[in-house]
Amino acid sequence: MITLISSDKRKFHVLEEVANQSLTIRDVIEDRRGRRRADRIILVTNINSKIPEKVIVYWLRHFLMPEEIAHASMSHKKAEKLKKWEAKFFDTDIDTLNDLILAADSLDIPSLFDGACEKVSDILKNRSAEEVGEISKIENEFTHEEEEEEIPSENAWVWRNEFA
Amino acid sequence: MKMASLRNPNPKRRRCLSPTSDASLQMDRSLQSTLAMATADPSIATSIGLSLERILDSIPLQSDKDSLLHGAVNLASSLMEAAVRSARRFATSHNSSVWPLPNDLTINVFSRLDTLSLCFAAATCMLFRRCASDPSCYANIDLTSCADTVTDPVVSTMIQRAGKHLLSIKLGSLPQNENKLEHSSLTVSCLAALKFDGGVTGLLLQKLHLYNLKVGSNSLCSILSTCKSLSELEIVGINCWFVHILRTIFEHCRSIEHICLDTSHFYMPIGFLAELSVDELIKNCPLLSSLALRCRIGDDLLSAIVKEARGLKSLDLSGSSSFSGIFLRDLGNGGSANSLETLILRDCMHLRAKEVSSFLSAICYGDWKSLRSVDISNKKGLMVPRGPSGLRTRCAMEVSQVLRERPDMQLIADYPPIRCFDSDCSDFASSSSSDSGLSSSDDETSSSSLPGSDNETNASSDDETNSSSDDGTNSLSDYETSSS
């Protein structure tokens, strides 16, 4: 059993086999093998407690159905089920997804990273610049007129498009 | 320009920042009081106007008035510039705090976006623009969804940005309506960027899809000749003779796997073997596995292509014309080396019933072993050359025989509800299977005398079939004279 501690000091106890899905954690455990129990505590500093919960849920689901086995022998029905589950898992707001990307990046969990990146890009797909700004809470620094005047060949044409 | 103004604060501002200067302190104070007044008073526009007029009235000299006005305009515009600049700086710092992802992760997300969505994201803020100009975001350029607004320089810029990351390009628009041709405003010069830097960008391109672009044959070929690792090429609705394009591909793109050329919207000369020395060239491209042509092409060229392309798995000639199907005979004979799995001959205007029926019989005899899927549908029926005009037929008997003998094969044979000539068709089959040589003229005249009586009822009922097959027989006889 290993313990993860989030930035807001919450503790999460996870089976080693489950946490091994994170390549970072696996390396840390390998490094500390044979040492005292206190060393089995891993600080996950850049992540608040909401995200480890999600990550661990993701781990557990995938632990029950490891991907290598999944590809080789998983029946079509089970694969569909996992796909559905993942769609539901990633169906959250963009802030959570961004945090998941950060967590997956620092913990090195490739499938989670890909899934979250894919979902964020899905959210930003087929949106006008205004909508992108609204979704990401970004303040728009450019105006249509500026675009048309200053960089005619580069981005001005974008404003003449609309998503159906 | 925007970037420049952000990075290089003008000298005036630098003077303001030096703390000891009395002048700058005084300026700060006066600007602050003016701005305080401006924010407190909602009707600042009128009061400031009146105040300016009063001051002007108090000045006696015209030249002094002029310089005062000049200064006022100067002040207003520089104040506005400074305000916009500060607002942008605040927005930038706000954005970088609101968007949690570091640049490399944002780039990863952006690289999964389609090109138009990416450009919209780039038009949101400096942070996104910087991330969106990363080469990896332009690996797959697909501008088919905005073909009518995109211009050559835009595409050119994107190709240059992508640089060594470029994998695929999709340009132009596929017309919604098959018969209506919409040309996009793009020309082939937007692809000229592929040739920059000695063609490094083009060298790595793997997939190129062009739909209804304005293209000259020479410029297109010169661009294709730089795309040496191209594996997939699709060119639809381009005003070029396909033979030129094929020759360039076979010469330069040694790793080509899929080719699709559709020039059927334009009336181009028929492609014969003489124009394209296929035998030599096609050996350069051992990976070629699928070929789709929609153009006017002769039997001899087709048979040479399919004979030489040893790895060809799929041949799609739907909508092509000017070939009769004789090439099918040659292939059946040398069939063992053939790897063809899919053969689509849908709506080939001059495809002859006789060739189809002998092809189908060959399948029944056990030739074409690797073939899994065949489509010989024709919305007008198969052609009976030299027969009475308007005669189209179908090979229902052979089709059912093939379906019986080769249950593993998918055979599609949809024909219009013309009054069928199944009995005659079996005649074709028997005559053609007994007679494998090319002495077809006697054979055809004898056999076409048979359905003549049936034809009179049929031709009068279907004018459209009549006229089109007239056209077909004419150009086919052209072909025969010129090929012999």
Question: What ipTM was assigned to the predicted interfaces of this complex?
Answer: 0.83
Block means of pLDDT (10 residues each) for chain B, 484 residues, are 42 49 87 86 83 89 90 91 86 82 90 88 84 90 82 86 89 67 72 81 89 82 89 86 85 90 75 68 83 86 80 87 80 60 87 85 81 86 68 77 85 72 42 35 35 37 38 38 36
Residue B47's CB is within 10 A of a number of other CB atoms, namely 12
pLDDT of residue B167: 92
CATH number of A2-139: 3.30.710.10
**Distances in whole angstroms, Cα of residue B1 to Cα of each of A140, A158, B5, B23, B321:** 18, 20, 6, 30, 56
User: To the nearest whole number, what is the mean pLDDT of chain A?
Assistant: 76
pLDDT of residue A29: 78
Contact B149 A161 (CB under 8 A): yes
Contact list, A154 vs chain B (CB under 8 Å): 154, 157
The partner residue sitting opposite A125, judged by closest CB among B105, B114, B119, is B114
Do the domain assignments include residue B72? Answer: no
What is d(CA A98, CA A50) in angstroms, rounded to the nearest whole number?
Answer: 13
> Tell me, what DSSP letter sits at residue B147?
T
Contact B95 A141 (CB under 8 A): yes
pLDDT of residue B107: 93
pLDDT of residue B283: 78
As to burial, measured by CB atoms within 10 angstroms (0-12 exposed, 13-18 middle, 19+ buried), residue B120 is buried
Contact B94 A139 (CB under 8 A): yes
Contact A121 B109 (CB under 8 A): yes
pLDDT of residue A40: 67
What is d(CA B223, CA B143) in angstroms, rounded to the nearest whole number?
Answer: 19
Find residue B258's DSSP bridge partners.
B232, B290
Residue-wise DSSP of B311-363: T--EEE-TT-BS--SHHHHHHHHTGGG----EEE-TT-TT-BHHHHHHHHHHH
pLDDT of residue A26: 82
User: What range does the domain containing B439 cover?
Assistant: 156-483
What is d(CA B440, CA A103) in angstroms, rounded to the nearest whole number?
Answer: 75
Structure-block tokens of residue B263: 């020039």
Do the domain assignments include residue B199? Answer: yes
Find residue A43's DSSP bridge partners.
A5
Mapped onto helix, strand or coil, the DSSP state of residue A46 is coil
Domains identified in chain B, total number: 1
Do the domain assignments include residue B127? Answer: no
What is d(CA B316, CA B322) in angstroms, rounded to the nearest whole number?
Answer: 15
Give the chain B residue whose CA is nearest to the CA of A134: B124
Contact B95 A138 (CB under 8 A): yes
pLDDT of residue B431: 37
pLDDT of residue A150: 45
Contact A132 B121 (CB under 8 A): yes
* pLDDT tens digits, A53-106: 788 888 877 777 655 555 555 567 777 788 888 888 888 888 888 888 888 888
Do the domain assignments include residue B84? Answer: no
Give the chain B residue whose CA is nearest to the CA of A147: B123
Do the domain assignments include residue B99? Answer: no
Bridge pairing between strands A41-43 and B140-142: unpaired
Cβ partners under 8 Å of residue B56, min gap 6: B65, B68, B69
- CATH code assigned at B182: 3.80.10.10
Q: In what order do the strands lie in the sheet with A11-14?
A: A11-14, A2-5, A41-43
Determine phi and psi for B320, rounding to 5 degrees. -75, 165
Closest by CA to B92, choosing from A143, A147, A151, A139, is: A139
Contact list, B122 vs chain A (CB under 8 Å): 155, 158
Give the chain A residue whose CA is nearest to the CA of B120: A129
* pLDDT tens digits, A102-141: 888 888 888 889 999 999 999 988 888 888 888 888 877 7
Determine phi and psi for B373, rounding to 5 degrees. -145, 130
Interfacial A residues in 57-116 facing B (CB < 8 Å):
95, 98-99, 101-102, 105
Interfacial B residues in 127-146 facing A (CB < 8 Å):
127-128, 146
